Amino acid sequence: MLDIKQLRNDPEGVRAALAKRGADIDLAPILKLDEEVRALTGRIDAVQAERNAIAKAMGQTKGKPDPESIAKASALKAEAADLATEQGLVRGRFEEAMAGLPNLPDARVPEGGKEANRVIRTWGEKPDLGDKPLSHLELIEKHGLVDFERGVKMAGSNFWLYTGDGAAMEWALLDWFNRSHHQDGYTFFLPPHLLLPESGYGAGQFPKFKDDVFHIQVKEGGQERFLLPTAETALLNIYRDEILPAEKLPIKAFAYTPCYRREGGGARADERGTVRGHQFNKVEMFQFVDEDQGDAALDELLGRAESLLQQLGLHYRTVLLAAGDVSASMAVTYDVEVWIPSINDYKEISSVSWAKDYQARRARIRTRGKDEKQTRFVHTLNGSGLATSRLFPAILEQHQQADGSIAIPEPLRAWMGKDRIG
């Protein structure tokens, strides 16, 4: 959520920043609602002050208060209640309007949509795979790594079943990611997969993207819950409504979870196999920081994501997203995209983002030093470290051998107990 003070003081600057996303947002109605809330607050305070004055005078009166004073006090009480009700309705409309505003893009973010995304570096070379390299789908079938038919039979379209060496490689990846982050000082969390709506709101995913997640049907009067679309949603909400000691920042966390999303996929050639589905595995990194720690945290998270790909020996590129391609909650995002030869294209494998204080305002996460009286909102950052559903086909294709076997990346060999599939 944006800072209302910034909107009041510089509405044209905020509007221009949002325009970088391609959004022409009229801020006047929001500012009008803000004025109405503040005006009602003033009226409530004035009525309450008058009521308090009458009560004080009645308390100083010897004997029974006069009927006129009693009637006036009663009328003021009723007026204050009516004003509070009106204020609640106006505040609700104001907060809904504020919740719908996206984050302001960071100064380094280019204006425009996907076409303005900027490749900032590449690592490695596209592998020489000979004249007739196999696609990941062909390699999966050849070695029995994934059973798509039985996955669909069990759960429906856009689900799959890892089998044999495919399941082993998937778990070897997750185990290695977890150990890597744990050994480097990140705190490991295994959060619930079912979350309350407040968690989706705090992360900035609700209300705009509420229809993109799976919701759990509940009996009338029961608590609504949804399946988390990413561990980021859970990690952000660990400290919702809390004040964190500034001396403990940055707080570095990570979690492994499946991710559940109501995304289409599977029909396009570049989304077949495990490239896109309703459920996939991901290890997510997260940091809670003070504002002046944000740039260092962003560099660290991006470096960690890239290091994992380098250790896996995979060719990739890193892209600074343009404002129109950055998610609504984030101020700046770098995508790390891995090369998938069969589709002759790169696919996002990690998004590393800085939300500034946008998420923390929604989740009411603040910080304060031990000698400070005032609190301030923390800044939050997240990065995939890594998602496996697109990593899996990249490994199969980039590490395939001339005889159709697959060289297992070195970090995974100890867990899998071999250096080659096939």
Q: How far apart are CA 319 and CA 119, in angstroms?
A: 4
DSSP state at residue 198? H
Q: How many residues does the chain have?
A: 422
Torsion-angle region of residue 351: left (phi > 0), alpha (psi -120 to 50) or beta? beta
327 carries an active-site annotation:
no
Q: How far apart are CA 273 and CA 103, in angstroms?
A: 34
Report the run of H or E that residue 4 belongs to, with start and end. Answer: helix 4-9
For residue 374, give every residue at least 6 positions away whose Cβ sits within 8 Å of its Cβ, in sequence order, or none: 368
Instruction: Out of 21, 51, 225, 261, pick the active-site residue.
Output: 261
Tell which residue, 198, 284, 282, 278, has the closest CA to residue 235.
284
Q: Taking the mean position of all CA atoms in its chain, how far away is CA 96?
A: 19
Q: How far apart are CA 230 and CA 227, in angstroms?
A: 9
224 carries an active-site annotation:
no
Q: How far apart are CA 330 and CA 303, in angstroms?
A: 19
Instruction: Out of 350, 351, 353, 384, pick the active-site residue.
Output: 351
Q: How far apart are CA 242 and CA 363, in angstroms?
A: 9
Quick one: how many helices (H) and strands (E) in the chain?
13, 18
> Do 161 and 154 touch, CB atoms closer than 8 A?
yes
232 carries an active-site annotation:
no
Instruction: Out of 36, 348, 364, 368, pick the active-site residue.
Output: 348
Tell which residue, 295, 359, 303, 292, has the closest CA to residue 336.
303
43 carries an active-site annotation:
no
79 carries an active-site annotation:
no
Tokens of 356: 């500034």
Report the run of H or E that residue 336 belongs to, with start and end. Answer: strand 332-340
Concatenate the DSSP letters of all residues of 239-271 into one string.
Answer: TTT-EEEGGGPSEEEEEEEEEE-----SSSGGG
Instruction: Out of 51, 225, 276, 366, pick the active-site residue.
Output: 276
> Do 368 and 246 touch, CB atoms closer than 8 A?
yes
Ranges of beta strands (E only) in 183-311 are: 187-189, 194-195, 215-216, 225-227, 243-245, 251-260, 279-289
**Catalytic annotation, residues:** 261, 276, 348, 351, 390
